[in-house]
Amino acid sequence: MLESFARARGKHRSELAAYYRRHGGSSDDLELWILRRLEALRITTRSAPMLGLVATMIPMGPALLALSTNQTDGVGENLVIAFAAVILALLSASIAFAVLIVRRRWLLTELRQIERKREEAL
């Protein structure tokens, strides 16, 4: 969020460009740096739905037990928790995916700018 405000105001300092100035390297090296930078977001987008499924299954056990003893209140309470958990996980994954896509575009744009400057210097 802060990065988007800084970019909108033209005050963003590129971490990729700073890395390139310090370490140099080829485009492949910079792409690897980008992949490492985005790794946490990629893991989040893929693991959040799985964790949502796990969070859904945990209260299903008590809900089924309540169903077997004809306790409809217990069934309802546990199903609310189960569905809320999966919805929260899916929302989290969706937000992380949106951030991943935007940040990836920004970093690849910065990479292309570095490549152009390098081509112009030759």
The pTM score is 0.83
Domain limits for position 101: 2-121
Which residues lie below 8 Å from residue 72, measured CB to CB, with a gap of 6+? 66
* Closest by Cα among 39, 2, 35 to 16: 35
pLDDT digits (tens, 9 = 90+) for 50-67: 999 999 999 999 999 999
Listed as own residue / partner, the contacts of 40-45 with beta carbons closer than 8 Å and 24 or more positions apart are: 41/96, 41/99, 41/100, 41/103, 42/100, 44/92, 44/93, 44/96, 45/93, 45/96, 45/97, 45/100
Confidence of residue 7 (pLDDT cuts 50, 70, 90): confident
- Count how many domains the chain has: 1
What 3-state DSSP class applies to 10? coil
1, pLDDT greater than 80: no
